[in-house]
Amino acid sequence: MILYILQEPILRTLNFEHRYNLKDTYRHKGLRKSLVKTIQEKGIKDKRVLEAILKIPRHYYLDNAFVELAYQDKAFPIGSGQTISQPYTVALQTELLELKKGEKVLEIGTGSGYQTAVLLELGAKVFSIERQRKLYQKAKVMLDELGYRPKLFYGDGFKGQPAFAPFDKIIITAGAPEIPKDLIDQLKPGGMMVIPIDDGSHQVMHRLIKSSDGSEVVKEEHGMFKFVPMLKDKASD
Ligand code: SAH
């Protein structure tokens, strides 16, 4: 009996690795170190963001065909016509959020779940919405197996999550055609939203800061990026 109790966690780990082919080797860790150096050189300063990127095995969140490339600073396909964001973009969006431990964050576009994991590593309570059913299901299993406990939703991020509002911070990980009004309404006074807004050919990273009386929104611009589009309604694939 005692032997069984001792072995049980080991068996669980082996079973998990077998099912998802998850192994984080010294080689992966070394590649992550260089990735962190690269994004630091591109201007990311927040130590907690860099530590999260160093800690999280990004290759777990990629399709098998791209695992070898996981530590390049690039976006890659994750199925359903979507991509995992480039690590620099993930880092910049997270840095702009200026997260404090315990803050409530709404993420639009769970995708692979990688950005979700970064937010959780920074101590946020994460609510994340994905409109592609398969991606939602895959991220749910993966994050749960890795021990993360976000609240994930399959739905249309334009509508936000009024039942859990207001949020301290909101992050949108797809290119928005405009600022979604429902999301502004669900932001706390003094809260911030980081959102790439489409200008026709690129997306301009915006940080929107709601005034402490809630009556005004200040807009800042933080450079041009490439994102998949933020689309209306749910998709069943
Ligand atoms: N953070 C993710 C980014 C994935 S790409 C990652 O790094 O893996 C953007 C994601 O936003 C896609 O998965 C896409 O399906 C999703 N998306 C686009 N429009 C959406 C909407 N209206 N509501 C919820 N998710 C949306």
| CA-nearest residue, atom 6 of ligand 1 | 84
For 203, the enclosing helix (H) or strand (E) is strand 203-210
Q: Which two tokens stand for residue 227?
A: 């994102």
DSSP state of 86: P
Fold category of 2-225 in CATH: Rossmann fold (3.40.50)
Q: Is residue 215 annotated as a catalytic residue, yes or no?
A: no
0.85 surpassed by pTM: yes
pLDDT at 11 over 80: no
Measure the CA–CA gap between 206 and 209, rounded to whole angstroms: 10
CB within 8 A of 48, min separation 6: which ones? Answer: 99, 121, 122
Cβ < 6 Å from ligand 1: which residues? 78, 82-85, 108-109, 111-112, 114-115, 129-132, 135, 156-158, 173-174, 228, 230-231
CB within 8 A of 68, min separation 6: which ones? Answer: none
- Exactly one of 34, 80, 85, 215 is catalytic; which is it? 85
The identity of residue 26, as a single letter, is Y
Measure the CA–CA gap between 49 and 53, rounded to whole angstroms: 6
Q: What is the pLDDT of residues 142-201, one digit of tens each?
A: 999 999 999 999 999 999 999 999 999 999 999 999 999 999 999 999 999 999 999 988
